[in-house]
Structures are given as C-alpha cells and as structure tokens.
C-alpha cells in the first residue's frame, strides 16, 4: 500500500468524565494508559497508524493539554504535522475543517483519516484492512464513515443503517441516535445496522466543499479563524474571536446526515470507545472469576469486578459486579450497572467547587510534574520532578515563601540574579517577592521537596517574567 496520501487527524480534546477519578479535566482519558498496555490511548492511536499513513498526524486539542500531547509524541519518537490548539471546544465539524484547511495548504489535497484519540482497537490488521477498503470510495469523492460490526444490542452508541451495497461499502441510508434496549435488539437481529464509530476518511477538499454546501456559516468561521494563525513551538494557534463565533456542531449533524455522498465501510477490529468503567472492564484482562485488577489489590471471593488502585493497597471480600477506583486523592465505589452515572457525580463535585474534578494530586507540567503531598491553612508540601535540561519559569510570588530541599539530582537555582548549584540533602530558601528560577542542568531527573508557607498558596500567585514554554 503506497502513495495513498493519507494524513491522519486525531481528535484529542475530550474530557472523559465517565472515567473519573482516573480521567480529569487537566489530564483526561486519552492521555492515560487504561487498557492493559504501557502506552497511553493517544500513543496507541498513533502507533497503530504505522504502515497505513503517509503523513505524520495532525492533532487537535485544547490549550491546557498542549504540552501533554507533545510530550507523549516525543516519548514514542513520533513526528506530527502540527498540534492545533482550540481556543474553545466547538465539536467535530469545525475541528476537522481546521485540519482540512491546513492539510490543503501543506500537502497535495490528502485523504484525511479522522480518528478519536481515546478508542481501543484490538485487531490492527483488520483496522488497516477497512481503511484500505475505504480508500477507493474516498478517492472517488465519497465521504466515508466506518461502521463497527455490532455484536451486542448496545444502547450507548449511535447506529448507522446500511443501504445499497457499493463495492466494499454501503450507501448510508440513515444515522440513528442511541436506541433503547428493545430497538437495539431489533437492529442487531436485522443485520442492517452497525455502530457509529466517529471515524472518517475523505479528501480534504471534498470535506470542505460538503461543509460549505451544508453549513456555510461553519465553513466561513473556520476559514477566517485559520487565516490568522500563530506558530508557537509545536503548536498552531488560530484567531480566537473568529473561532468563538463558530457554531458548535458535530460532523454527523453538520455534514454526514445531509450529504448524498456518505458511504459506510464495515470494520470488525475489536473496537471500543471506553465510554465508561463498564467498557473498561470489558476490554481489560481478567482473572478466572472475571475480575479486572490494576495495582496493589488483594481479593477474596470476588467476581466480575474492576478494582484499580494507583498507590494504596485495596482489599475486597465477597463483592461482585463492583467498580472500585482509588487514586492518590479520591476513591470511587460503584455498582457496575450504575457506572454510567459517574458523570452525575462529577457534575455534583463541579457544582461544589471541588478541585478534584479538574486536577489530579499529581500535576504534569512541560518541565516535569509535581505531587501535592500535604497542605494546611498556611503551608503546602510538594514533591517536584524536573526533567533533564528543563527549566521552570523565572517567577516570583506576592504571598508565599518557599524552601527547596534536593532529594536527588542537581539543581541550578537563581534567586534575585544570584546563581547557585544544589545537590542531594542541600536546601535553599526563597523569600516572598524574590525573583527566582529552578533548572535541571544534569542528565537525570531532579527530585526535590518544596515547602510553601504564606497567606495564599494557590497556583495563580505566580508572576512570570520569562518562560521557555510560552506560558503567560
């Protein structure tokens, strides 16, 4: 398979609230390793493109996830064709339009393979086979969607009704919303329906023509937004005001349901969108009693449960059909049949102003990460990890002083223009309002303990004077 001119477009902007507390606003499920692999879902999405894509993928994500996305590509040594930063979420139709405009500018009107960053696909060869079958349709000007061969009466997926067969695909007769159980059973029995995967293949120019015909308001807003773009390191920033004015619409509603050129190509590749903990249990490896276990877990007489712990020991006795998820700062216990209601818990926590909705205790930054170990009324303790060669911004604080104690590695510390080097078991004090910076000049990770003290300890008490990562 050569010279097919395929450019993948990976949508990486979801929030994954049904997988809380694993998935959170600042670190959602596409950046996590969930399905028994060491790679994250985004990394697996990119790795399964080997042998099928002719161009490095374009990524579309939001501003606060940009460094996570770039770092995860670096970890697997994969290039990209640009990381688009959406100023606000406007659903899939506008996001794909941005990629199409960019692809036309950079390449010779490629075939865009639109994928979500958070899908599991067990059979990569079957995945590749379906894409190959779809190429002939896309090259002839069709807008191809991939329909997952249904093997159960799922009520959590939309469906596509197949019409007249056309080569390796079928004319799309109808897109159907998520059905009730009885309707889903009827769909399965008929053999005429498949699950709507949200994956597509079409030529960039063909999608833009269809979008302009069906939704010229979205077309014009995206054309205006991408017409004013700024390159920042790996990232592409577009005109914020123009994109905010763009309607919020999915590609299904904006284009696919209105075009006469929609074709569905079946795909039977062990697909799952990991929409909740029930789905995560389904795709996970299980013991002889149907338990899917991750972390330090001890079970006695338990069946068909998902038990996941990040650090602490979890012991369970005599439970069945249970979801137990323990992170460093939260514990979720749910009946497996009620797992879809996790989203309502998240909304309740959000309404209560709980930080756990958005942040893990361990927070990733472009220079490394920090773990908030302890906190009180006037103090906070963090364990900070700085990657080799990385540097925190030159900054100061109006309300807090800091002590840094080096645990391992070497720290280059600058306080009010005075530089010094610290190694293991050495410490330094940074007074309130002192301009300071921390850098790792070594070849191994720098680990240190930071003790903050003061009247206000939130992250917005940071005045940045210089930052190599472009943060304001």
Give CA–CA dist 176/187, Å, rounded: 10
Calculate mean pLDDT across residues 308-337.
Answer: 96
- Tokens matching residue 370: 């920090």
Neighbours of 152 (CB within 10 A): 11
Residue 14's pLDDT is: 81
Q: Which CATH architecture fits 367-465?
A: Sandwich (2.60)
For domain 6-272, is the CATH number 3.30.470.10?
no
Percentage above 70 pLDDT, the chain = 99
- Tokens matching residue 211: 């979008």
Alpha helices by DSSP H, 92-239: 92-106, 124-139, 181-190, 204-214, 216-227
Q: Does residue 308 contact residue 326 with C-beta atoms inside 8 Å?
A: yes
Percentage above 90 pLDDT, the chain = 88
**C-alpha to C-alpha distances, 91 to 132, 411, 451, nearest whole angstrom:** 27, 43, 41
Residue 301's pLDDT is: 97
Give residues with Cβ within 8 angstroms of 221, minimum separation 6.
94, 242, 243, 245, 246, 247
Give CA–CA dist 239/229, Å, rounded: 6
Summarised one tens digit per residue, pLDDT across range 93-140 is 999 999 999 999 887 899 999 999 999 999 999 999 999 999 999 999
Please list the residues that pair with 299 across neighbouring strands.
Answer: 316
How many helices and strands in the chain, by DSSP H and E?
Answer: 11, 30
* Of residues 271, 270, 246, 257, the one with CA closest to residue 95: 246
Report helix angle 92-106 to 216-227, nearest 10.
50
Confidence of residue 471 (pLDDT cuts 50, 70, 90): confident
Residue 470's pLDDT is: 79
How big is the chain, counted in residues?
Answer: 472
Residue with structure tokens 């996590």?
32
Q: Does residue 91 contact residue 248 with C-beta atoms inside 8 Å?
A: yes
Report how far Cα 17 is from the mean position of its chain's Cα atoms: 12
Calculate mean pLDDT across residues 224-232.
Answer: 89
Summarised one tens digit per residue, pLDDT across range 80-103 is 998 999 998 899 999 999 999 999
Quote the pTM value: 0.90
**Is the predicted pLDDT of residue 324 greater than 90, yes or no?**
yes
Residue 232's pLDDT is: 79
**The dihedral sign for the CA sequence 35, 39, 44, 50:** negative
**Structure letter (DSSP) for residue 179:** P
Residue 409's pLDDT is: 98
* Of residues 408, 367, 438, the one with CA closest to residue 68: 367
**Is the predicted pLDDT of residue 286 greater than 50, yes or no?**
yes
**Is the predicted pLDDT of residue 73 greater than 60, yes or no?**
yes
Indicate the range of 60-64, 322-326, 378-382 predicted with least confidence. Answer: 60-64
Summarised one tens digit per residue, pLDDT across range 50-66 is 999 889 999 999 888 98
Residue 1's pLDDT is: 43
Q: Where are the domains of the chain?
A: 6-272, 283-350, 367-465
**Is the predicted pLDDT of residue 3 greater than 80, yes or no?**
no
- Tokens matching residue 456: 């206000």
Residue 13's pLDDT is: 87
Residue 440's pLDDT is: 98
The mean predicted confidence, pLDDT, of the chain is: 94
Residue 2's pLDDT is: 54
């Amino acid at each position: 398979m050569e010279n097919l001119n395929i450019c993948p477009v990976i949508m990486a902007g979801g929030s994954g609230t049904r997988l809380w507390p694993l998935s959170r606003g600042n670190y959602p499920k596409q950046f996590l390793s969930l399905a028994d692999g060491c790679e994250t879902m985004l990394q697996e999405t990119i790795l399964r493109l080997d042998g099928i894509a002719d161009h490095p993928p374009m990524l579309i994500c939001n501003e606060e996830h940009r460094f996570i996305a770039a770092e995860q590509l670096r970890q697997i040594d994969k290039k990209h064709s640009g990381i688009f930063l959406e100023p606000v979420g406007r659903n899939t139709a506008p996001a794909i339009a941005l990629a199409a405009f960019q692809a036309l500018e950079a390449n010779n009107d490629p075939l865009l393979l639109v994928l979500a960053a958070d899908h599991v696909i067990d059979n990569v060869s079957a995945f590749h086979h379906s894409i190959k079958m779809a190429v002939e349709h896309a090259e002839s000007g069709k807008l191809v969607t991939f329909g997952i061969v249904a093997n159960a009466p799922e009520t959590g997926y939309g469906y596509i009704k197949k019409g007249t067969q056309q080569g390796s695909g079928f004319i799309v007769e109808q897109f159907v919303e998520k059905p009730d159980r009885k309707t889903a059973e009827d769909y399965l029995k008929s053999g005429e329906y498949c699950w709507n995967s949200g994956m597509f293949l079409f030529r960039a120019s063909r999608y833009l023509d269809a979008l302009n015909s069906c939704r010229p308001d979205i077309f014009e807003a995206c054309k205006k937004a991408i017409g004013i773009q700024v390159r920042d390191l790996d990232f592409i920033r577009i005109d914020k005001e123009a994109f905010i004015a763009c309607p919020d619409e999915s590609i299904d509603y904006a284009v696919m349901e209105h075009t006469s050129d929609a074709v569905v190509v079946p795909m039977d590749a062990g697909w799952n969108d990991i929409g909740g903990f029930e789905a995560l249990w389904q795709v996970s490896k299980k013991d002889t009693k149907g338990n899917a276990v991750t972390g330090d877990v001890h079970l006695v007489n338990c069946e068909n449960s998902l038990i996941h712990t990040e650090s602490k020991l979890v012991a369970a006795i005599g439970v069945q059909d249970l979801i137990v998820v323990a992170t460093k700062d939260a514990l979720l216990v749910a009946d497996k049949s009620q797992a879809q209601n996790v989203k309502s818990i998240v909304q309740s926590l959000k309404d209560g102003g709980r930080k756990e909705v958005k942040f893990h205790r361990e927070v990733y930054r472009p220079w490394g990460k920090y773990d908030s170990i302890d906190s009180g009324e006037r103090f906070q303790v963090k364990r900070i990890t700085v990657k080799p060669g990385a540097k925190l911004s030159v900054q100061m604080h109006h309300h807090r002083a800091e002590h840094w104690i080096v645990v391992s590695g070497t720290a280059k510390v600058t306080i009010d223009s005075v530089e010094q080097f610290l190694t293991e078991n050495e410490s330094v004090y940074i007074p309130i309002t002192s301009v300071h910076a921390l850098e790792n000049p070594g070849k191994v990770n720098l680990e240190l303990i930071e003790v903050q003290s003061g009247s206000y300890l939130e992250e917005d008490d940071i005045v940045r004077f210089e930052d190599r990562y472009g943060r304001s």
